[in-house]
Structure 1
Amino acid sequence: MARPRTFDEKQVLNAVRDQFWDAGYAATSLEDLMRVSGLGKGSLYAAFGDKRQLFLRVLNSYTEANHGRLREALAGAPRALDALRMLIEAPVDDPAGTRRGCLMANSASELGNADPEVLAHAHRTYETSTALIGDCVARAQREGDLPAEADPVALARALLAAQQGLVFMSRTGMDTATLTATARSLATRLLPTSPDD
C-alpha cells in the first residue's frame, strides 16, 4: 500500500519553478531539484516524473497563474485604457522582479529550437495572452478611448511585444528611470492620451 505524501506539492513546485527560473533548464541538475524540493530522487520521480516532465508541469502551472493574474488585472481596472497602460508599465513597477525575465520567454529562448513541445507551449501562451489583451482593447474601443477602426488583435500583439521588450530590457540591468521613460514613450505611441492626462 502506497504511503501518503508528506510534503506540500505546491511548495515543492514553487521551489522547483524558482530553480528553473533562476538557473535555466540545462543548468539545473537533479541534485539541484532534490536540494530545493527537499525530496529524494525516488520521491521526486514518483511524484512528478523525470526532470523534463517536472519542468513542463512547472511551466504549465506558471503560464496558467500568469494568465489568471492578467485576466484579473485587465478586468479590474475602471477603464480598459487604464488596464492597457498598466500592462506596459508593469515591468517598471517591479524592476527587481523582472530582472529574472519571464520564465516562459526564458524557456523558449533556451529550448525552443531543440524542444518542439516547449515551442508549442510558448506559442499557445502568447496566443492566449494576445486574446486576453485583444478583449481589453475591444472594451477600450467600446468605451470610446481607442479608435473603433483599430484592429484589436494587431494592437494586442504590439502591446504584448512592448511589454515583453521592457521585461527583457529590465533583465539587462537598465536603470528604473530609463525603463520608466521607455514605458511612457511606448504607451504614448501605442495608446492615445486620455483627456484627464
Structure 2
Amino acid sequence: MARPRTFDEKQVLDAVQEQFWDAGYAATSLEDLMRVSGLGKGSLYAAFGDKRQLFFRVLRSYTDDRHGQLREALAETPRALDALRMLIEAPIDDPTGTGARRGCLMANSTCELGNADPEVLDHAHRSYETSTALIGDCVARAQREGDLPAAADPIALARALLAAQQGLVFMSRTGLDTAALTATARSLADQLLPDRSGD
C-alpha cells in the first residue's frame, strides 16, 4: 500500500517557485529543491517528477495565477480606462521596487530558456496571448464607455500595453530609480491611453 503524503503540496510548490524565480532554472540544483521543499530526492521525484517536470508545474501554476489576478483586476475596476492605466503603472506600485526588480517569472524563464527549449517558448506564447486577450476585452469595454477611440483595434492596443508594462518591468530590473520609472510609466499611459473624459 502506498504511503500517504505527509506534506502540503501547495506549500512545497510555492517554495520551489520562489527558488526558480530567484535563481533561474539552470542555477537551481536538485539540492536547492530538496532544501526549499524539505523533501528528499525520492519523495520529490515521486510527487512531482524530475527538475524539468517540477519547473513546468510551477510555471503553469504561476501563469494561471497571474491570469486570474489580471482578469479580476481588470473586471473589478469600475472604469476600464483606469484599469488599463493601472496595468501600465503596476511595476511602480511597490514602493520598495523589489517586486518589479525581481521581474516576471514567465519573462525571466523565456529569456533564459526560450531559445533552447521550444516548450518554454510555446508556453510563453500562449501565456502572453491569454494576457493580450484579457487586456483586449478591457480595451473594448473602455471603447464602449467612450474613453478610447472606437476605431482602435483592441488587440493591437492590448499588445502595446502589455509590451509597455513588460518594458517597465525590465527597466526596473536594471536599477532605474523610482522617480524615472514613475515618469516613464505615466508618459506611456498618457500616450497610449489619452483620457477623453474632458472632451
Match of 2:82 in 1: 82
Q: Which amino acid aligns with 1:74?
A: L
Alignment correspondent of 1:162 = 164
Q: Which runs of 4+ in 1 moved over 3 A?
A: none
Q: Report the Cα offset of residue 194 of structure 1.
A: 4.5
Q: Which one of the candidate residues 139, 157, 163 is aligned to 1:137? A: 139
CA–CA distance in structure 2, aligned partners of residues 194 and 72 of structure 1: 25
Which amino acid in 2 is paired with 1:150?
Answer: A
CA shift, 1:176, in A, is 0.8
Tell me by how many angstroms 1:110 deviates.
Answer: 0.4
Q: Does 1:183 align with 2:185?
A: yes
Structure 1 counterpart of 2:102, which letter?
Answer: R
> CA RMSD for the aligned pairs?
0.8
Structure-2 separation of matches of 1:143 and 1:195: 10
Matches within 5 A, 1:1-80: 1-80=1-80
Structure 2, unpaired ranges of 5+: none
TM-score computed with the length of structure 2 as normaliser? 0.97
Asked if residue 147 in structure 1 is aligned to residue 149 in structure 2, the reply is yes
- Matches of 1:139 and 1:66, distance apart in 2: 21
Cα distance in 2, alignment partners of residues 127 and 19 from structure 1: 26
Q: CA deviation at 1:183?
A: 0.3
CA distance in 1 between partners of 2:161 and 2:39 (Å): 41
**Cα distance in 2 for residues equivalent to 1:49 and 1:182:** 43
How many corresponding residue pairs? 196
Please tell me whether the aligned partners of residues 148 and 196 of structure 2 are also in contact (alpha carbons under 8 angstroms).
no
Code of the residue aligned with 1:46 in structure 2: it is A
Query: Which structure 1 residue ranges, 5 or more long, are not aligned?
Result: none
